[in-house]
Amino acid sequence: MATLTEQNERIHTVIHNANIYSSRMMRSYISWLSKRRNACILDLGPVCDDTVNFFLPHVKKIFLYDVFLRLSRHQDTHTVLQNLDYKPNSFDAIHLWDLINHLESNNTSLLLKVCYSLLKPGGSVIITAYDEFKNRIPLNSFAVNKNYQVVLRPQHHLDLPYFHRNNRDISLIMSQFNLCNSYVYKCGVREFYFRRD
């Protein structure tokens, strides 16, 4: 009979494995990104060095602006988004991860308006979301490694509200972009790959 410690270790292993998935979207996205010459991408956080090091060989520059951390430090959402003061049409892609699940509807609209102007025509937007009752606590960063595996890395220092959005909500929010692909994984993560006209 297994001891309590052994049982706990097993539970921990199961939870740990539930926080890893092999991303089909990343394969498709990297394939597209590698064809863009001197690509510049913007990552809105949570900033994760594994992800930065994963993308660096495929792009010219990665711009990092951690919206999660700024909002978590009680900065005003409008101010945080206004500080995305890059030139219009600057980026080939923007990584939103699960940011739209932590913003109220009006702020989500503002964010996407800013993203649309910052993206080059034909640029991509990466979004992730969780199924309703899985993985939303604690807030995670998305650490991508060389095998396109994504590890959900808990960010205990971040504290933001959570607004669950189903597939229809996300389609409506992203109505000015075209949905290229979406994926659902057993661990409860949904991935959406949008592109600007």
- Interface with another protein by CB under 8 A: which residues? 40, 46-49, 52-53, 56-57, 60-66, 69-70, 83, 141, 153, 155, 157
* Rounded alpha-carbon distances, angstroms, from residue 151 to 1, 23, 62, 120, 190: 32, 10, 20, 29, 14
Q: Which of 180, 170, 172 is nearest to 96 (CA)?
A: 170
By beta-carbon proximity to another protein, the closer residue of 75 and 166 is 75
> Residue length, the chain?
197
> Minimum CB separation from another protein for residue 56, in Å?
4
> Minimum CB separation from another protein for residue 49, in Å?
4
Q: Are the C-beta atoms of residues 43 and 63 closer than 8 Å to each other?
A: yes
Phi then psi for residue 38, to 5 deg, are 55, 45
By beta-carbon proximity to another protein, the closer residue of 6 and 49 is 49
By beta-carbon proximity to another protein, the closer residue of 48 and 115 is 48
By beta-carbon proximity to another protein, the closer residue of 11 and 56 is 56
Question: How many whole angstroms separate alpha carbon 72 and alpha carbon 195?
Answer: 28
